[in-house]
Structure 1
Amino acid sequence: MVCQHVESDVSIYHCEPLFASGEVVGLLYLQSHVEEENRFRLVALVENIASALVNQNLQKDLLEQTVHDPLTGLYNRRYMEETLNAEIATASRNNTELGLIMADIDHFKHINDEFGHDAGDMVLRTIANEIQNSFRSNDIVCRFGGEEFLIITKSHPLHTLIQRVEDLRASLSRLELHYNGRALGKTTMSFGVAMWDKSLSTETSAIIRKADAALYQAKKNGRDRIVVG
């Protein structure tokens, strides 16, 4: 029996499955003959490789858990703070654009109270997906906490950023969400936009406060709108 991955002109080879935790995690392929006296060395090598692969996957999973919000799959607040600090340093050094958007779901408490927390979780996941799809892959979309989201944008001039946020706001307001056959009503968001410049401190708290103040003003002005700080 010849393995399907082996080239037709290969006549001598050895395949050894990599087992770990009862599963095959890989395959060791040697294009040579393994002498009987070297079998025990091969077995030890296979076990070490399999163990290393499992450990690598575990480390990757742990890293994913430490930087992503488990409900929405977006980056979490811890990752946001570390990334924002690095992006401010880059913007300061290169004199490039850096924007921050604080977004909050309007009347989210009503959804939880009226329809339950499972419905609220569904709304959070849906809106997180809408936000993620509205920004470029090099923009950083995070769940800031509760029903608040934060987006770090790079190389967007202010007028372009405002239009992008307006497109998102309009798209969200057209959503018709249902849970267990019940309409959840209109879903809207308020947005506070801030741009970092050298008049601000390089501490992350400065631009976050600026965006948060703009978001507060958007809420105060009637919600479902954008305010630039």
Structure 2
Amino acid sequence: MSQEQLTHELTFEELKNTITSLRRIFDIVRVVDASLTIQYELNEEGQLVPDEYRCYAVWEKDHRCENCISAKSLATKRTTSKFEFIHRDVFFVMSQYIKYRGEEYVIELVKEIHDDVLFDAYGKDGFVDLMNQFNDKIYKDELTGAYNRRYFNEQHLKIARDAAVVMIDIDKFKTLNDTFGHTAGDMALQALVSCIQSNIRGTDRLIRMGGDEFVLVLENIPIHILEEKLTQIKEDASYIRFEEYPELKMTISLGAVATPGDIRESLVLADDMLYIAKEQRDTVKIYEKHQKEIRE
């Protein structure tokens, strides 16, 4: 299917023929809704029937892939590819954006690689490690180890529907830098990331958007747990100390949106909550959209 074909909505016959043709080449051909991690089969009535397993189950995972190329295809409306692994078995994966019956999907194609020529330079184990390092390089912030803005734009803008969104800033970070120097500022950022990561789940995502601005995305979290978690992060951050800078003490402010929705809208509201929190400093402000109220 050419890139030009991505601009129009596929008919049932076009989608059926595409899937049939691709299954002659690839081991797995499936239609995926990356926003909901649902995979579908196309029936004879032209309906996409949800499968009982989530799309990430094929990789023996219990959560969304960190480098989800179907999410990237959904966000960019382009064809994307990667290597994926089950233990030390290597698979080539392609995802292509499509439109069908008014909805956006991705066709995901999977082919196991048996050709040892690909692994000659590094060996299979070395190749797997190299690809993992590559994923870290493109999606991780070099200073802190948190995810970077590119990861957020490609992996979350189109998919984080059932997630709380939190914006986090270090209070008076410019003053901290001016007083103690940029090395101390870097140490403060690194310590804050470690503090946050020690309080969140493996499925939560911490993203450094730039400077001292972080976004935390937490999927499927009850409001009372979110409130407890953010309060704990705030308190833990206030106890961060550095032997090299004994006088350096820092606090953080957090603005959050608790109710799932469009992530762009949630970001704006979380930023509004952060603005209110930063006026007081060392504070958590949470906005619940269905109640239209602010929790402290």
Aligned-pair distance for 1:196?
3.8
Cα drift, residue 82 of structure 1:
2.7
Q: Give distance in 1, aligned partners of 2:119 and 2:138.
A: 26
1:217 corresponds in structure 2 to: 276
Report how far residue 77 of structure 1 moved.
1.2
Name the SS for the 2:156 alignment partner.
Answer: helix
- For residues 143 and 273 of structure 2, the distance between their equivalents in structure 1, rounded to whole angstroms, comes to 27
> Is 1:101 aligned to residue 166 of structure 2?
yes
Cα drift, residue 135 of structure 1: 0.4
Quick one: which of 38, 55, 70 aligns to 2:142? 70
Identical aligned residues as a percent: 30
Q: Does structure 1 residue 121 correspond to structure 2 residue 180? A: no
Work out the CA distance in 1 between the residues paired with 2:199 and 2:118: 44
Residues 128, 48 of structure 1: alpha-carbon distance in 2 compared, 3 angstrom cutoff: closer
Alignment of 1:1-229 (within 5 A): 49-51=119-121, 53=123, 57-89=129-161, 91=162, 98-179=163-244, 182-197=245-260, 200=261, 202=262, 204-220=263-279, 222-229=280-287
Residue segments in structure 2 that go unaligned for 5+ positions in a row: 1-114, 288-296
Structure 1 101/46 Cα, relative in aligned 2: closer, same or farther at 3 Å? Answer: closer
* 2:151 alignment partner, SS class: helix
Check whether the contact 2:160–2:219 (CA below 8 A) recurs between aligned residues: no
Shift of 1:216: 0.5
C-alpha distance in 1 between matches for 2:213 and 2:128: 33
CA distance in 2, matches of 1:171, 1:65: 29
Q: 5+ unaligned residues in a row in structure 1: which ranges?
A: 1-44, 92-97
Over 4 Å off, 4+ runs: 45-48, 54-57
Root-mean-square deviation (Å)? 2.2
Query: May I ask how many residue pairs the two structures share in their alignment?
Result: 171
**Which residue pairs with 2:66 in the alignment?**
none
Q: Which has the higher contact order (CA 8 A, sep 6+)?
A: 1
Change in Cα spacing, 1:123 to 1:55, as seen in structure 2 (3 Å) is same
Q: Distance in 2 between matches of 1:102 and 1:71?
A: 19
TM-score by length of 1: 0.68
Paired amino acid for 2:232: D
Question: Structure 1 residue 63: deviation in Å?
Answer: 2.0
1:167 aligned counterpart, secondary structure: helix
The structure with the greater share of residues assigned to helix is 1
> SS of 1:178's equivalent?
coil
